[in-house]
Amino acid sequence: MQRRPQRALAATAAALTAATLSACASERDSGGGEGGEAQSGGTLVFGAAGDPAMFDPAFASDGETFRIARQIHEGLLGNELGGTEPVPELAEDWEVSEDGLEYTFSLQEGVQFHDGTDFNAEAVCFNFDRWYNFEGLAQSPSASYYYQAVFGGFASTPDVPSIYESCEATDENTAVVRLTQVTSKFPAALALPAFSIQSPTALQEYDADNLSGSEDALSYSEYALNHPTGTGPFRFESWDRGNGEVTIVRNEDYWGEAALLDEIIFRTIPDGNTRRQELQAGSIDGYDFVSPADYQTLEDDGFQVLVRDPFNILYLGFNGGNVPGTQANPALQDPRVRQAIAHAIDRETIVNSLLPEGAETATQFLPPTVDGWAEDVTTYEYDPERARQLLQEAGAEGTTLRFYYPTDVSRPYLPDPAAMFQVINQNLTDAGFTTEPVALPWNPDYLNAVQAGQADIHLLGWTGDYNDAYNFIGTFFAEAANNQASAEFGAFSAPEIFQALAQADAEPDAEARTELYQEANRLIMDYLPGVPISHSPPALVVAENVQGLEPSPLTAEVFSTVSLAD
């Protein structure tokens, strides 16, 4: 159950602490807004990189599903428009008890789901209980990944404890959620789309929890496929699978400020070049995952390239497991070999030549804007000579490394895996390593193989779910993630790192927590379980007449403020 499937697919949002991110927004970040009154009406066609899995965010963990779910559904908390601050959404306000175990949410009044069902405290508790009582396939990590990441186990899994205790509707508009232990993830995690509040009527009517198929090939319920019902500014209209088109329309009875567009069509165009050409040809109005090579061309053509602030990490992971009896490349257990790899990689050139303007080299597995980033970690400069020397000292010349990289994908932190692979591969060859390249399709092969620890070295990354150090380094290096033979970084045992992370997570005081995370980062960079490479600003692009789209560092754009000028 420790699997972290497709976690890198997730591009989700919510923020624990106020970040300074929005302050350093580059000047390109202007999704219109200047110029006349925003107009209502019209259809926006947005190019998606892949098909959504379905539309029930409780079972989703991929960005394309979330992109659409975010328009249809809302959670108790939401994200500040274009920022990282968690803001009230369906909960007007909330209070935390002294012991940090009881959250009292005061709900918005007069809100209705798309099917006319009233939104109230009972609906909220219905959803919490639904997640907690998932059975069977719904408990598999590929179904309810985010629930498990935040809450742990289920009602029917007593051996895996859950931090959820109960939800009680004390009156029409007050829901009290009780937890079994203090966690720093709460309540910010409730802004994740996975915790959207959905219509109890529709969930029951269309048998939402009825999953079939197998763990890795889930077949979803009628609800998830055809009747997702939330409170959001848009309603689900139709999904034309043959052509990869999802249509959502304005919710006329939206409780807040109604959306400006009549309709949004998300059209799947997997190939990045095709997306660009379709935009240039005018058949779509915008798309995500703009190739860095196209920023300039598109701007010259009059399109708006909306650059998000980097909130991600790309790294070269090692399988350097040191637990006896597990399969790991023995050479990588030698710290000198790991250091040699770090010294071999020319990160400066990578950032300059392959990544968009605004990308930075990474010194640790955490973006500098997140609390807990440490200035004084051990760094490994580009020095092929030193790399050779270390390799020699370790007696590991001629070591063959199985180098895994993904094909057919573009990630926010890794716009062009093929180019990245080739440059790093050449760096390693120059430093005296031998590599055996292995290319696999991103999903599911690559993610499965890499997270099962099959690679010696591999490229992977992570976009933050919320502004919290644990969401990055805890995901990678917490003990739970590494105590098995088939772990991404191999079964490695580094008690001091595990302890530092556990301690930090349980620390209620923000300042003390930050210091503990800094210490953890220092320990990690001394140990060097992989090489952090870069933080890269991903971008979306929209046509000149598209106004009001605020790029979100968490890739959590909301389309209700978007309008089309003439």
Partner 1 sequence: MTAIGDVKRRRIDELAARAGQVPEGEGGVSLTRSAFRRLRRDPVAIAGAVIVVVFLLVAAFAPWLAPRDPLAQTLLSEIRPGYIPGSREGFPLGVDNLGRDVLSRLIVGSRQSLLIGVVSTLLGAVVGMAIGVLAGALGGWVDSVVMRFVDILLSIPGLLMAISISVLLGQNQYSLVIAIAVTQVPVFARLLRGSMLSQRNSDYALAARALGVRRGRIVFGHVLPNSLSPVIVQATLSLATAIIEAAALSFLGLGDPDLGRPEWGAMLANAQQFLGVRPELAIYPALCIIVVALGFTLLGESLREALDPKFRR
Partner 2 sequence: MLRFVVRRLLQLIPILLGLSVLLFAWLRALPGGPAQAALGERATPEAIARYNELFGLDQPIYVQYLRFLGRAVQLDFGNSTRTGRPVTEEFLERMPGTIELTLFAMVFAIGVGIPLGYLAARRHGSWIDSTSVIGSLLGVAIPVFFLAYLLRLVFAVELGWLPGSGRQEVRIDATRVTNFYVLDGVLTGEWDAAWDAFTHLVLPGIALGTIPLAIIVRITRASVLDVVNEDYVRTANAKGLATQTVRRRHILRNALLPVSTTIGLQTGLLLSGAVLTETVFAFGGVGSAIYDAIFGRDYALLQGFVLLLAIMYVLVNLLVDISYGLLDPRVRVS
Q: And the tokens for 158?
A: 């007593």
When binding is defined by CB under 8 A, the residue of 88, 100, 152, 244 that contacts partner 2 is: 244
When binding is defined by CB under 8 A, the residue of 93, 207, 271, 496 that contacts partner 2 is: 271
When binding is defined by CB under 8 A, the residue of 204, 296, 379, 499 that contacts partner 1 is: 296
**Residue 422 binding partner per list partner 1, partner 2, none, with a CB distance cut-off of 5 to 8 Å that depends on partner kind:** partner 1
Report how far residue 349's alpha carbon sits from residue 424's, in angstroms, rounded to the nearest whole number: 10
387 binds partner 1, rule: CB under 8 A: no
508 binds partner 1, rule: CB under 8 A: no
Cβ-based nearer residue to partner 2, 56 or 334? 56
295 binds partner 1, rule: CB under 8 A: yes
Cβ-based nearer residue to partner 2, 26 or 291? 291
> Least distance from C-beta 245 to partner 2, angstroms?
6
Contact 310, 472 (CB under 8 A): no
Q: Which stretch binds partner 1 (CB under 8 A): 27-35, 354-362, 471-479, 545-553?
A: 354-362
280 binds partner 2, rule: CB under 8 A: yes
> Least distance from C-beta 408 to partner 2, angstroms?
5
439 binds partner 1, rule: CB under 8 A: yes
491 binds partner 2, rule: CB under 8 A: no
DSSP state of 210: -
Q: Please choose, from the candidates 565, 563, 557, 564, the residue with its C-alpha nearest in 3D space to the C-alpha of residue 71.
A: 557
Measure CA 148 to chain center.
Answer: 15
502 binds partner 1, rule: CB under 8 A: no
> Least distance from C-beta 446 to partner 2, angstroms?
10
Would you call the peptide bond into 406 cis, given omega within 30 degrees of 0 as the criterion? no
To 10 degrees, what angle do helices 335-344 and 417-430 make? 120
Q: Please choose, from the candidates 187, 141, 192, 135, the residue with its C-alpha nearest in 3D space to the C-alpha of residue 164.
A: 187
Q: Which stretch binds partner 1 (CB under 8 A): 7-15, 21-29, 70-78, 286-294?
A: 286-294
DSSP 354-383: HS-TT-EE-SSSS-TTSTT--TT-------
Half-sphere exposure of 229 (CA within 13 A, CB side): 23
**Residue 292 binding partner per list partner 2, partner 1, none, with a CB distance cut-off of 5 to 8 Å that depends on partner kind:** partner 1
Report how far residue 325's alpha carbon sits from residue 347's, in angstroms, rounded to the nearest whole number: 34
Provide the residue type at 135 as one letter: E
Based on the number of CB atoms within 10 Å of its own CB, is 348 exposed (0-12), middle (13-18) or buried (19 or more)? exposed
Report how far residue 540's alpha carbon sits from residue 9's, in angstroms, rounded to the nearest whole number: 17
When binding is defined by CB under 8 A, the residue of 2, 212, 353, 434 that contacts partner 1 is: 353
Q: Which stretch binds partner 1 (CB under 8 A): 290-298, 360-368, 383-391, 448-456?
A: 290-298
273 binds partner 1, rule: CB under 8 A: yes
Q: And the tokens for 77?
A: 């908390």
531 bridge partner residues: 316
When binding is defined by CB under 8 A, the residue of 102, 215, 479, 515 that contacts partner 2 is: 215
Report how far residue 376's alpha carbon sits from residue 516's, in angstroms, rounded to the nearest whole number: 14
> Least distance from C-beta 471 to partner 2, angstroms?
23
Quickly count: other Cβ atoms within 10 Å of residue 157's Cβ: 15
Cβ-based nearer residue to partner 1, 250 or 276? 276
486 binds partner 2, rule: CB under 8 A: yes
> Which residues does 385 contact at the CB level (< 8 Å), separation at least 6?
none
Phi, psi of 539, rounded to the nearest 5 degrees: -135, 150
418 binds partner 1, rule: CB under 8 A: yes
Quickly count: other Cβ atoms within 10 Å of residue 88's Cβ: 16
> Least distance from C-beta 222 to partner 2, angstroms?
12
407 binds partner 1, rule: CB under 8 A: yes
| Length of the chain (residues) | 566
Q: Which stretch binds partner 2 (CB under 8 A): 11-19, 111-119, 187-195, 448-456?
A: 448-456
Q: Which residues bind partner 1 (CB under 8 A)?
A: 272-273, 276, 291-297, 349, 352-357, 407-408, 416, 418-419, 421-423, 425-426, 429, 437-441
Residue numbers at the binding site for partner 2 (CB under 8 A): 3, 43, 45, 212-220, 241-245, 265, 267, 269-271, 274, 277-278, 280-284, 407-408, 441-445, 448-449, 451-452, 454, 486
